Amino acid sequence: MLKTKKINKLLPFFLIFFSTALISLTMFRSGLKYDFGLGFWGPNGHDAIWHLSLINQLKQQVPPQNPIYSGELLTNYHWGFNLLVALISNLTKISAITLYFQILPIIFSLLIGFLSFKLSFLITKNRITSLIFVFLNYFAGSFGWIYTLIKDGHIAGESLFWSMQSASTLLNPPFALSLILLLIGLILWYRHYNSKSIKILLIISLIFGLSGSIKIYAGALIGLSLVFYYLIDFIKNKRIINFNFWICLITGLFSLFILYILGILTSKQLLEFKPLWFISSMIESIDKFYWPKLASFKYNQTNIFISLVINIFLIVIFLIGNLGLRLLGFFTLYQKAISAKLVNFDKLIIFLFIFSFSIPLFFVQKGTAWNTIQFFYYFLFFANFYLAQFLSKLWLKSKFLVFIILIITSLTSYSTLKDYFGNPPPSSLPNSEIEALNFLKNQPNGFVLTYPYNKYIKNNLSTPIPLYAYETTAYVSAFSFKQSFLEDEMNLDITGFDWQTRRSESEKFFSTDNEYFARGFLNNNNIRYIYLLNDQTFSLDISTLQIDKIFDNGQVKIYQTRK
């Protein structure tokens, strides 16, 4: 009996440590040195490079310079996570790349597991529910595997219906950190509900407010949810000043301050009204739930009633496809609602569900439309809680059925994780470029001009594809610790910078035979270094351009402009 109790107490630790070891592999192997250079798996070949470039700028100054758009401060971006990594790196002298790929993912994963268990047990007082909630937060997936199994004969399709699933949480470190803040905030909010302690009010509000600096989507969702929860509470109880009033007020003020510091409050509108963009693109994109006949029929439809039916049908597919078996959890939520057993947490999360679903349904982010799907990530995370409650009830009737459901709901996670065990990685930073960028890092500070990105080069290359060809990335800035004149056009789109004009000027510089334009371009943009691979060149000779070659290893050339 004592042995069984001990095992039960240790079970959460075993589950959390085992799950952490497994999903950390989505990050852990990236950024390490291999025979060919540094390897990068999955989105780490782009997203992680951006974060590293920003972290290295934040190690030098706050607020940061834009690492991929020289001469400008970074605006319209939540860089709280990057500041945290920069501070830790400066204090511990551990490199940002090691922190990003090998250390913080493990810490974040462990915290998400322990805090998930803590929150669930606080609300339900049920260990089975809490254990299942932890498992789902690591491995729950979509119904994408059904489509790929029927169509292609194999299990895959994690983001077939657009949304990232649990197994990929660590691939988006700011999202993972925002979950940690939300879990801590919700635990304190639920535990100290109606507290009159100013200290508690400030701590909860600061935690919720900080979530917006880490991930603007998290801050917006928890802020809106708290406000509407307070309004309903006010209508019901007729009390203007209460616990939630102060939470909303202090969180709001702190969030406004954070948004101002980040340059988001004074920025141009980031969202634009494009209703049903995700459900339309879902059936139009070949890498999603591709259904060209329905897409064609939808666009050529003139009957309003039929159009309405099609759109409702696609919304249902989007929702069910992304939720997978999480859908079962909403039966639990419904039963609690009709039996008047909703606790304060449930009422707050219902608002979070409404906003995290409706915002991406009607709005997209300017520059990169699909970024708005990140609101929906939080919907899936908290939907796990209600599936866990459903399964804990089912556990009393059929443990075997619960295990089957858990296996089915984690099938897309299996397909995701196996991709991170493969070799070689999809992208790399070759040894020749590591040598060149290390040399450039040790040179005096100055802006770096790189050759404009050509998306067609990678079609003729085998894996691992060098970062310069893999995607438009910030890799020169990330590994040289310097600002680039123009890199990572994708993130420049997201943050609203006019990269098209710079690209046009850059292309003209490399192709022109007009020495006055070329020298004027370098001087006017304060270009100090030009970083080129061996097959990249300019039309004019270096003496005409008044530049000197300062590095050449046969694969990379670096030039410095004369003052």
pLDDT, tens digit, 9 for 90 and up, residues 503-552 = 999 999 999 999 999 999 999 999 999 999 988 998 888 889 999 999 99
pLDDT of 496 reads 83
pLDDT of 5 reads 63
Within 8 A by CB and 6+ apart from 22, the residues are 138, 417
Split at pLDDT 50, 70, 90, the class of 3 is: low
Q: How far is CA 509 from the centre of its chain?
A: 35
- Which residue's entry shows tokens 């909303």? 248
CA atoms within 13 A on the CB side of 531: 31
Coil, strand, or helix at residue 465? strand
pLDDT of 1 reads 52
What residue type is assigned to position 5 of the chain? K
Whether 88 and 94 have beta carbons less than 8 Å apart is answered as yes
Within 8 A by CB and 6+ apart from 257, the residues are 209
Burial letters 99-120, b for 16+ CB under 10 A, else e = bbbbbbbbebbbbbbbbbbbbb
C-alpha distances out from residue 474 to 54, 425, 479, 508, Å: 9, 19, 9, 21
pLDDT of 194 reads 81
User: The pTM is what?
Assistant: 0.93
Within 8 A by CB and 6+ apart from 531, the residues are 436, 440, 448, 449, 450, 451, 476, 480, 556, 558
Residue 430 bridge partners (DSSP):
37
Whether 172 and 27 have beta carbons less than 8 Å apart is answered as no
C-alpha distances out from residue 193 to 59, 196, 206, 239, 341, Å: 39, 9, 16, 15, 17
Report which secondary-structure segment, H or E, holds 490.
Answer: helix 489-495
Q: How far apart are the first and last CA of the chain?
A: 80
pLDDT, tens digit, 9 for 90 and up, residues 4-51 = 566 677 888 999 999 999 999 999 999 999 999 999 999 999 999 999
What residue type is assigned to position 468 of the chain? Y
